[in-house]
Amino acid sequence: MARDKLVLAYSGGLDTSVAVKWINETYDMDVIAYTCDLGQGQDIEAIRQKALRTGAIDAVAEDARNLFIDYFVWPSLMAGALYEGKYPLATALGRPLIAQLMVRVARQHGAAAVAHGCTGKGNDQVRFDVTFQTLAPDLRIVAPVREWKWTRTQELEFAAAHGIEVEATKKSIFSTDQNLWGRSIEAGILEDPWVEPPAETFQWTVDPRQAPDQPEEIEITFDHGKPVALDGQEKDGIELIDDLNKLAGKHGVGRIDHIENRLVGIKSREIYEAPAALLLHEAHRELEFLTLSKESLRFKTQVSQAYADLIYNGLWFSQLHQDLMAFTISNQQYVSGTVRLKLFKGHALTVGRKSPNSLYRHELATYEEGDQYDASAALGFIKIHGLGQTTQAKHQLLKGKSGPRLELPSIIPPDKAK
């Protein structure tokens, strides 16, 4: 009888290469390697070939960059999703897509299981597992790295004993993950949150101190919240993001140093490089300031946080996501226009914005000729606006001589308090 098949998320690195053989032996299953291009800058055909050399019975490699941009990156940008206000979520956005595409391959090949190379300490295992459990609850999930609990030496011994290619170049001193929306860098010396990231941490951005001495001005045009053009030239998503990563990176824009709260309870220190993502979030938010009402802007910050949390926490395929997206699409209907930014020594500074839907009305804002604002109406408005507070002051806060007194309850139980 033929062995069961398993679809493995294959990166071509040591862990997932070792995993091919380990799965053959430990689970007695055949491995189909799955690799997709999310703009990580690797030759996926070469990775596919390596998978076959390593012992996979079949290997699938596909370009998923447009799917990634249209269904994951742009929605997250429109929603303003920055985890803890800092991280544009490149890694987190990639996981549900990879897992979804793996499920498709598993169905095509009649596989019984899926596998990923995540450790047991991070968020990525959660994102993969939850997506698999949601979309294909019948598939068995195998997580070799989480299960084998080896030291690196043991892993290398296994690789040597099974003739697995180990790249001659020495392993990166960091753990990294990347796609077109950003690079994530952790571990090694970065585990000390006091240590400034050394130059080797960065690959997409120059040190802001070494950035050009002349600022560079660019214009980004949005249509219903989606970026569509750079300097007046229409671009597709891949080209736009590639161009902005290079442009902003050249000026040292896009470095993030984050002590972040992982879903699994650990605080970890992550460095990110996300030049295009940071720049687009900045430009997009500025256009929202011009085109969304005060109330919409305030409510939107809550949606942004909820949306970022659900991406980070691996809950992409949830009804809450659908609901938040419905709000976001409606909320973005007037977010069209152009933002002008200056890139200079690590900063992307908005210096101008315009929109056919602008709520900034010169005839209301101006102190010059053409003012249509009725300043006399301000008087009555101020009286009513402050009425609650002036009433309270008269009858409570400023009544008598003693003034306000606050006694705060203790959170320590009485028997413990001394």
Nearer to ligand ARG, 24 or 184 (CB): 184
**For residues 320 and 305, is the Cβ–Cβ distance under 8 A?**
no
49, 134, 176, 313: residue in contact with ligand ARG (rule CB under 6 A) = 176
Q: Binding mask 200-239 vs ligand ARG (x if CB under 6 A, - otherwise)?
A: ----------------------------------------
Which candidate, 84, 153, 161, 152, places its Cα nearest to that of 119?
152
Rounded distance between C-alpha atoms, residue 418 and residue 407, angstroms:
18
**For residues 182 and 270, is the Cβ–Cβ distance under 8 A?**
no
Instruction: Choose one: 162-170, 172-180, 207-215, 325-333; the region binding ligand ARG (CB under 6 A).
Output: 172-180
Nearer to ligand ARG, 10 or 222 (CB): 10
Tell whether residue 286 is a contact of ligand ARG (CB under 6 A).
Answer: no
Query: What is the sign of the dihedral through the CA atoms of 232, 234, 237 and 242?
Result: negative
30, 129, 155, 177: residue in contact with ligand ARG (rule CB under 6 A) = 177
**One-letter amino acid for residue 318 of the chain:** S
Instruction: Choose one: 160-168, 171-179, 190-198, 208-216; the region binding ligand ARG (CB under 6 A).
Output: 171-179
Phi, psi of 370 (to 5 degrees): 90, 10
Rounded distance between C-alpha atoms, residue 304 and residue 301, angstroms:
5
**Whether residue 257 lies in the annotated active site:** no
Other Cβ atoms less than 10 A from the Cβ of 365: the count is 10
Rounded distance between C-alpha atoms, residue 291 and residue 356, angstroms:
9
- H or E, element range at 389: helix 387-392
Q: Binding mask 241-270 vs ligand ARG (x if CB under 6 A, - otherwise)?
A: -------------------x---------x
Tokens of 55: 């012992």
Nearer to ligand ARG, 263 or 297 (CB): 263
Phi, psi of 141 (to 5 degrees): -110, 125
Active-site entry in 140, 175, 296, 309: 175
42, 49, 134, 175: residue in contact with ligand ARG (rule CB under 6 A) = 175
**For residues 338 and 221, is the Cβ–Cβ distance under 8 A?**
yes
Rounded distance between C-alpha atoms, residue 279 and residue 253, angstroms:
8
Tell whether residue 92 is a contact of ligand ARG (CB under 6 A).
Answer: yes
Instruction: Choose one: 29-37, 184-192, 215-223, 401-409; the region binding ligand ARG (CB under 6 A).
Output: 184-192
Rounded distance between C-alpha atoms, residue 120 and residue 63, angstroms:
28
16, 35, 40, 123: residue in contact with ligand ARG (rule CB under 6 A) = 123
Tell whether residue 186 is a contact of ligand ARG (CB under 6 A).
Answer: yes
Least gap, CB of 41 to ligand ARG (angstroms) = 16
Nearer to ligand ARG, 115 or 271 (CB): 271
DSSP state of 83: B
**Whether residue 192 lies in the annotated active site:** no
Tell whether residue 313 is a contact of ligand ARG (CB under 6 A).
Answer: no
91, 205, 291, 304: residue in contact with ligand ARG (rule CB under 6 A) = 91
Report the relative pairing of strands 255-261 and 337-344 from DSSP bridges: unpaired
- Counting Cβ atoms within 10 Å, is residue 361 exposed (0-12), middle (13-18) or buried (19+)? exposed
Tell whether residue 184 is a contact of ligand ARG (CB under 6 A).
Answer: yes
Active-site entry in 48, 65, 95, 183: 95
Active-site entry in 11, 37, 48, 124: 124
**One-letter amino acid for residue 335 of the chain:** V
Tokens of 323: 């609901």
**Whether residue 95 lies in the annotated active site:** yes
**Whether residue 304 lies in the annotated active site:** no
Q: What amino acid positions are annotated as catalytic residues?
A: 15, 95, 124, 175
Q: Which residues bind ligand ARG (CB under 6 A)?
A: 91-92, 123, 175-177, 184-186, 260, 270
